[in-house]
Amino acid sequence: MFSPQGPSLRELAVQALSSVERGYDLLAPKFDHTPFRTPDSVLDAVASALRRIGPFEDGLDVCCGTGAGVGVLRQVCEGSVTGVDFSAGMLAVARERVPSGLPRVSWVRADARALPFRPAFDLAVSFGAFGHFLPRELPGLFAQVHSVLRPGGCFAFPVVAPPRPGSLMYCMLLGFDLVMRVRNAVWRPPFVMYYRAVRFGDLLRELEGAGFRVHLHPLPEFGRQRDGSPRVRMVVARRLP
Ligand SMILES: C[S@@+](CC[C@H](N)C(=O)[O-])C[C@H]1O[C@@H](n2cnc3c(N)ncnc32)[C@H](O)[C@@H]1O
């Protein structure tokens, strides 16, 4: 699952017993060698889909980590690009790895539940971070993203169809969530990371509740499931003017 440059089992265990913020500080130097970083295939597909509905002026990557989504924004935004994350360690790696150039990139350390921006962005993206939020935190998170977008601005992120019940992937994710629930019941600080806590329908309802109009764009690069539905979609939530 991990490359030789990735974290050891012991390092992962120490990280998982920390808070989310501290855990990512510790993981940061090896994060890009883990499967937790969004794969390039997903980033490329989202960039292509955004190109079809762009261009955009100023972009924000929410929970940017080491800068995976910032690379996408640099392709589709003509103005500034900002990455925001609460882990100083992840931001330090991002600063080293993402080349400077145009559009201008800046990094901000902040909690996504309290974004320190005015409505200054035309596009916000987020990759691989919603598992760190409890279902009850989603309305607040989406309200924050809504508040930093200019009227008409978009919040876009990919969503993978849930695995078929009984499949190997289904059992692995279920097992992971169970372990995390036990860990969080007996250990402080909590490390919130659940794969199956938020349902797709809830996600869409909360976005609409926050004042977005939602459109779904299938990402054709990932094909379709047996029932014909797309394997991966890009959600585009537009802030109503
Ligand atoms: C799985 S990583 C994904 C990083 C990157 N977006 C990617 O796709 O490679 C999740 C990131 O979310 C950040 N994060 C989690 N909760 C956060 C919060 N409340 N505010 C800001 N960042 C948060 C973590 O620090 C971490 O960098």
**Res 139: pLDDT:** 96
Helix (H, G, I), strand (E, B) or coil at 215: strand
**Is residue 222 in contact with ligand 1, taking CB distance under 6 Å?**
no
Model pTM score? 0.95
Q: How many domains does the chain have?
A: 1
**Res 120: pLDDT:** 98
In a domain, 122, yes or no: yes
Q: Tell how far the Cα of 64 is from the centroid of ligand 1, in angstroms.
A: 6
In a domain, 98, yes or no: yes
In a domain, 114, yes or no: yes
Query: Omega into 103 within 30° of 0, i.e. cis?
Result: yes
Measured by CA distance, the residue closest to atom 12 of ligand 1 is: 63
DSSP assigned state of 111: -
Q: Could you tell me the CA-to-CA distances from 75 to 54, 97, 106, 204 in Å, in that order?
A: 10, 16, 15, 26
Q: For the CA atoms of 5, 84, 62, 141, what is the dihedral angle to 10 degrees?
A: 130
**Res 6: pLDDT:** 84
Q: Tell how far the Cα of 122 is from the centroid of ligand 1, in angstroms.
A: 21
Give the residue, out of 63, 82, 160, with the most ligand 1 atoms within 8 A of its beta carbon, to mutate for a pocket test.
63
**Is residue 109 in contact with ligand 1, taking CB distance under 6 Å?**
no
Query: What is the rounded CA–CA span in Å between residue 111 and residue 147?
Result: 14
**Is residue 86 in contact with ligand 1, taking CB distance under 6 Å?**
yes
**Res 2: pLDDT:** 67
Q: Tell how far the Cα of 230 is from the centroid of ligand 1, in angstroms.
A: 26
**Residue 86 maps to which CATH number?**
3.40.50.150
In a domain, 72, yes or no: yes
Q: What is the 3-state secondary structure (H, E, C) of 118-154?
A: CCCEEEEEECCCHHHCCHHHHHHHHHHHHHHEEEEEE
**Res 196: pLDDT:** 83
Domain that holds residue 78: 38-239
**Res 191: pLDDT:** 87
Ligand 1 atom closest to residue 90's alpha carbon, by position in its atom list = 27
Residues in the chain with pLDDT values less than 70: 1-2, 102
Strand partners, 121: 149
Give the residue, out of 22, 86, 180, with the most ligand 1 atoms within 8 A of its beta carbon, to mutate for a pocket test.
86
Backbone angles phi, psi at 3, to 5 degrees: -80, 165
Query: What is the rounded CA–CA span in Å between residue 46 and residue 43?
Result: 5
Query: What is the rounded CA–CA span in Å between residue 197 and residue 93?
Result: 29
**Is residue 115 in contact with ligand 1, taking CB distance under 6 Å?**
no
**Res 100: pLDDT:** 72
Count Cβ atoms within 10 A of the Cβ of residue 229 and give its class: 0-12 exposed, 13-18 middle, 19 or more buried: exposed
**Res 17: pLDDT:** 81
Among 4, 64, 62, 65, CA closest to 31: 65
**Is residue 56 in contact with ligand 1, taking CB distance under 6 Å?**
no
Question: Are 71 and 50 spatial neighbours (Cβ–Cβ below 8 Å)?
Answer: no
In a domain, 178, yes or no: yes
And the tokens for 165?
Answer: 């019940």
Report DSSP letters for 38-76, one per residue: PPHHHHHHHHHHHHHH--BSSEEEET-TTTHHHHHHHHH
